[in-house]
Amino acid sequence: MQLIVENLKCIRGGRRIFDNVSFKLEEGQSLVVTGRNGAGKSTLLAILSGRLKASGGTIHLSGVQDRTLPECLHLIGHKEALKAVMTARENLDFAAEILGNPALSTLEALEHVGLVHAADMPVAYLSAGQKRRVALARLLVAHRPLWLLDEPTSALDTASQKILFNMMNKHVEKGGMIMAATHQEMPLVNLRELRIERPAPQEIDSDMMAGGF
Ligand SMILES: Nc1ncnc2c1ncn2[C@@H]1O[C@H](COP(=O)(O)OP(=O)(O)OP(=O)(O)O)[C@@H](O)[C@H]1O
């Protein structure tokens, strides 16, 4: 599998967020997406996941037969996308069912993130870091080659961060691909950086003028 992104552009709410974002990602590689607050890191991941539309540029995926990009990826965003009234186990069972391509069982995945003891607790009763760990366990219940992770370490303590970095490195070593938007250093193998810069102010101004502001 290979992902080639060229000259990707995004306009949101009439404002140009980024322009000319290009990169290539291959099996066994990880890319850390950096940039200032508001630069568009989450927006880029949302576009790749199919949740937002790009305003220009191309996204080309090869080596996946007839699968689409959204079918090849996991997105763990800022919001955990967990149902608060359901238990950790029920949330993961539900994810496993809709994602297909089964990997670890729900309990094995929870064991990986150190949460077996909380398997049958409603997610509403878990701490922020525990909720994040349940969300990250989703990565393990279904095989998907590309992991898109938005601030994956947020709310995690040092021990949980270590578990996450191990999971990420194992995925990459097995030929998986990772894009992680973060403000933090990440000890990952085969890591490259994609820095997103906001367009210069005069470019933003001319875009806004063109949009009728
Ligand atoms: N729903 C929305 N409608 C319009 N503009 C939005 C929306 N959500 C975000 N934006 C704008 O898109 C820009 C990029 O936001 P994004 O969340 O992608 O940045 P980021 O680089 O991930 O920031 P951070 O480091 O703070 O997480 C911001 O200027 C933000 O105001």
Please report the ipTM that was assigned to this predicted complex.
0.96
Rg of the chain taking only CA atoms, in angstroms: 18
Q: What is the pLDDT of residue 198?
A: 75
8, 17, 154: which to mutate for ligand 1, most atoms within 8 A of CB?
17
Q: Residue 16: beta bridge partners?
A: 11
Q: What is the pLDDT of residue 204?
A: 54
pLDDT of 210 over the 60 cut? no
Q: What is the pLDDT of residue 25?
A: 97
- pLDDT tens-place string over residues 188-209: 988 999 999 877 665 555 555 5
Please state, in angstroms and as integers, the Cα–Cα distance from residue 12 to each residue in 9, 55, 197, following that order. Answer: 10, 9, 15
- Measured in residues, the chain has a length of 213
Q: What is the pLDDT of residue 78?
A: 82
Confidence of residue 180 (pLDDT cuts 50, 70, 90): very high
CB 177 within 8 A of CB 23: no
Q: How far apart are CA 189 and CA 29, in angstroms?
A: 8
Mean pLDDT value across residues 64-75: 94
18, 41, 207: which to mutate for ligand 1, most atoms within 8 A of CB?
41
Q: What is the pLDDT of residue 79?
A: 81
Mean pLDDT value across residues 162-190: 95
By three-state DSSP, how is residue 74 classified? strand
Give all strands (DSSP E) within the chain, no chain letters: 2-12, 15-26, 30-34, 56-62, 73-76, 146-150, 177-181, 191-195
Q: How many structural domains does the chain have?
A: 1
Domain that holds residue 173: 2-210
- pLDDT tens-place string over residues 2-58: 999 999 999 998 999 999 999 999 999 999 999 999 999 999 999 999 999 999 999
Mean pLDDT value across residues 140-156: 96
CATH code, domain with 147:
3.40.50.300
Q: What is the pLDDT of residue 45?
A: 98
pTM for the complete prediction?
A: 0.92
Q: Which amino acid is at 152?
A: P
Q: Which ligand 1 atom minimizes the distance to the CA of 181? A: 22
How many beta carbons lie within 10 A of that of residue 52, not counting itself?
15
The CA 93 to ligand 1 mean position distance, Å, reads: 31
DSSP H or E run through 80: none
Residue of minimum CA distance from atom 31 in ligand 1: 38
128-141 and 158-173 helices cross at what angle (nearest 10)? 10
What is the distance, to the nearest Å, from the Cα of residue 74 to the centroid of all Cα atoms in its chain? 7
Confidence of residue 211 (pLDDT cuts 50, 70, 90): very low
Non-local CB neighbours of 78 within 8 Å, separated by 6+ positions: 42, 150, 151, 154
- pLDDT tens-place string over residues 90-140: 999 999 999 989 999 999 999 999 999 999 999 999 999 999 999 999 999
Instruction: Say if strands 15-26 and 2-12 run parallel, antiparallel, or are unpaired.
Output: antiparallel
